[in-house]
Structures are given as C-alpha cells and as structure tokens.
Structure 1
Amino acid sequence: MPGKPKKKPQRKLRTYQTSLGFYDQAVAAPSMKAALEAWGASSNLFHQGVAKETEDPDVVAATMASPGVVLRRPVGSNDPFTENAQLPTDLGDGEASPKSRPKRKPRAEAKKRPVKAAPKTSRKADDQAARKAAAAFEKAERRREAERRKEEDARAKARARRDKAVATAEAALDEARREREARAAAIEAERAALDERAEAEQTRWDKQRRKLEDALRRARE
C-alpha cells in the first residue's frame, strides 16, 4: 500500500521584541522578516539595533499563547504584554517623548537560573505546544493573506467600475458632439440656400424694376 503523504513541517516560532513609539511590542513569529511584517515596520529594526529575539519566559509565554498577534505594553515598563495595552501613565505636558526619557531598569536577565533537565513528558508537551502555536500562526498568516487578496479584488472591481463609467461618459459626450456638429451643418446648409434664394430674388426684382421704370419714363414723354 502506498505510504501516507508527509505533512509539511511547520516552522518553529520564536519571540521577537522591539520598542516603537509609546509601546514595547512583542510577537511570536517564525522569522525576523515575519516579525517585521507583523509590526508593519518599513525598515529592518534588527539591523538598527532596536529589535531582538527574546527568551524572557513571561514574554515568550504571552506571545506563544497568541502567535502572530502583536502584543504591547507601555515602553520601558515591566507590565505584562497584552493586545490592548494602555498608554504610559507618566506622560505629562511638555515632557520628552518616551524614547528620550530613561527607561525603567528592566528585570535582570543576566542572572540565569540553574537549568534543570526537563522530564520527557514536559519536553513532549512543549513540542506539542510549539506545534500548536506554529499552526495557529500559519492560520493567522493565511487569514491575513486572504484579507489582502479580498482588498485587492475590491480595489480591482472599483477600478473596473470607474473605468466603465468613464468610458460610458466619454462615449455619450462624443455622441452628443457628433449630433451637434450634424445639426450645425444642416443649419449652415439651410442658411446658404436662403442666401442663394435671397440673391436670386434681388436679381429678379432689379430686372423687373428697371423694366417698369423704363415703361414709366416712356409714358411721361
């Protein structure tokens, strides 16, 4: 019997973190490129030194629970990352922007806790959770791609309707212009015919007048 088709391996998710505007932002993504796309960044924040991969267990746990979703917290704070973070509470009139104010001292990550060998059951659960998170991220990616295609189709249909309306209006204008030119030509033809008739009538009258004037003059002699 033929073997079952192999499933496409899912990409392992990593947690990336940056600071943009008033917020620290974090996202679980399979690559730096995917993280930049999720943040909507127009430049490579990793090359600029303002984004990094983080292994903070709290941040990793929060992002892995919602893969592909950008989580935020007030910049420089140690608050948990959430989808609807509040603005920093220490902003005041005339104060410098968050980027210019010294950040709170982050929790020291240098002090590493002793690493204990995880039991096999725990590693298995972690692998299952990672696969589940990767599947959720790919599902979110497919949903975003479908939404982009839907928006592009809507824009294409709008352009087609606009082009059709423009073509219809231009055709109507051309038809009206041709009709007006035809009517103007007919009026000019009628005017030329009237001028010709008027000239002929003037010629006839001049001849008749001269004949009658000659007869009147002879009668008076």
Structure 2
Amino acid sequence: MARKLKTYQTSLGFFDQAIAAPSMKAALEAWGADSNLFHQGAARESDDPDVVAATMAKPGVVLKRPVGSNGPFREHAELPAKLGVGGKPKKDPRKPGGRKPKKDAARPVDEVAERKAALAYERERKSRECEQAKEEAARQNERDRRQQAIDKAQAALDRAEAEHADRAAAIRAEAEALEKKSQAEEARWDKERERLTAALKKARGPPSLRRALGA
C-alpha cells in the first residue's frame, strides 16, 4: 500500500524547493542533501495549499522557484532576476502599508487524489531509482573498462621487464664466458711465449758461439 504523501519545502542555493514525499528522509534524498535540513531548521513540512497542490500534481518531482519569491513552484525555474553581492538574491522592498499575504484556508482532503498522488510518487521514485541504477551501471562499466586497460598495460610492462631481464642475464653470461676465454687465452699465450722464447735462445746458442759466428 502506497504511503500518504506530505509536502516538504526548503531553500538550497538560488531556489526554494518543494516536493511531495512520504517522509522527510525521502525528501532529503530527492533534494540530494548531505545533512538533515529539518533538524537544522532549513526545511519544513508545508501546508500552503498552492504549494501542496503543485507538488501533489507531480509527486516525487523536485519543484523550484527563485529563492525569496512567492511565485509558483515549477519543475524548471529560472534564476532570481535580482542578485546582490556574492550572488545572493536581493530582498524585495516592502512598503509599510503593503498588503500582507493572507493565509489560505486548508483545502478539503481528497482521499482519491491522495491515493493517486501516492501511486504517482512511487512511479516517480522507481523511475528515479531505475535511472540512478542505469547511471551507476554505466559508471561501473567505465570503471571496468578502465581497469581492463590498466591490467592490459601492466601485463605488457611486466612481460617486457621479464624479457629484458632474461636478455640482460644472457648477455652477462656471454660476457662472463668471453672473459674466461680471454683469461685462458692469455694464460696459454704466456706459456707458449715462454716456450718459444726458450727455443729461440737455445737455437741461438751461448753468447760465445754467437760472437764467433758473428751473430
């Protein structure tokens, strides 16, 4: 069974906002408030017949009007015509003898209209939740796509680093093998040079023989 709706009103930024909702919590969620405006005295339940009628005609929809004005609430409202320093609306001057707004008498309760409004609110709430779910799904898909791209790039980097490490290790091994070959060649040559030098000396004979031969 749909819950009975009430009209709640607040002022946020440049606009007065009103909504027909089943609870203060639902109104705060629709306004996107991150704190309890009712506890802060910044929001209240409205019994203004015109405001109630406007919100009940579009239950669950946030209606707006320029802040500080007495105009009708609409789904799409224009910014206040007069803005003061710092972007705050200027207060309209009131003449001392001006007519004070009369309090309208409460309109009779139409239970059929209330039930229709409550059902309309539920439809609007479900539509809003569905839209929010679609937006969240789209955001999640984007996060998944981005994460997949990150994982792919990271995997490519890891493979390249592993390949580089293997090649560097192979080069170091080749360098060490060449160094060992070079040292072995130097040792072999030292021995061979000593042997050949000794053979040369032997072939030349003692110094006395070389002098005799004129060598």
TM-score normalised to structure 1 length: 0.78
Closer/same/farther in 2, CA of residues 75 and 166 from structure 1, 3 Å limit: closer
CA distance in 2 between partners of 1:62 and 1:151 (Å) = 28
Paired residue for 1:150? 134
Paired residue for 2:171? 187
Post-superposition shift, 1:148? 2.0
| Residue identity matched to 1:147 | E
The structure having more radius of gyration, on CA atoms, is 2
| Residue identity matched to 2:114 | A
Closer/same/farther in 2, CA of residues 21 and 107 from structure 1, 3 Å limit: farther
Tell me which stretches of 4 or more aligned residues in structure 1 moved more than 3 Å. 100-106
TM-superposition CA deviations, 1:57-114 (whole Å, max 9, x none): 211111111111111122222211112222222324x37823x8478687232x748x
| Residue identity matched to 1:161 | R
TM-superposition CA deviations, 1:44-65 (whole Å, max 9, x none): 2222222222222211111111
Is the CA contact (8 Å cut-off) linking 1:65 and 1:133 kept in structure 2?
yes
Paired residue for 1:50? 42
Paired residue for 1:10? 2
Is the CA contact (8 Å cut-off) linking 1:78 and 1:107 kept in structure 2?
no
Equivalent residues in 2 for 1:14-29, closer than 5 Å: 14-29=6-21
| Residue identity matched to 2:176 | A
| Residue identity matched to 2:55 | T
CA distance in 1 between partners of 2:151 and 2:137 (Å) = 21
Structure 2: gaps (5+ residues): 206-215
Residue aligned with 2:144, SS = helix
Paired residue for 2:211? none
Is the CA contact (8 Å cut-off) linking 1:24 and 1:75 kept in structure 2?
yes
**Residue identity (%):** 58
**2:67 is the alignment partner of 1:83:** no
Residue aligned with 1:131, SS = helix
Is the CA contact (8 Å cut-off) linking 2:14 and 2:66 kept in structure 1?
yes
Is the CA contact (8 Å cut-off) linking 2:68 and 2:91 kept in structure 1?
no
TM-score normalised to structure 2 length: 0.80
Closer/same/farther in 2, CA of residues 163 and 103 from structure 1, 3 Å limit: farther
**2:88 is the alignment partner of 1:97:** yes
Closer/same/farther in 2, CA of residues 95 and 195 from structure 1, 3 Å limit: closer
| Residue identity matched to 1:107 | P
CA distance in 2 between partners of 1:216 and 1:202 (Å) = 21
Paired residue for 1:141? 125
Residue aligned with 2:139, SS = helix
Structure 1: gaps (5+ residues): 1-8
Is the CA contact (8 Å cut-off) linking 2:65 and 2:74 kept in structure 1?
yes
Residue aligned with 1:52, SS = strand
Is the CA contact (8 Å cut-off) linking 1:10 and 1:135 kept in structure 2?
yes
CA distance in 2 between partners of 1:219 and 1:36 (Å) = 114
Aligned-residue CA RMSD in angstroms?
2.7
Post-superposition shift, 1:140? 0.8
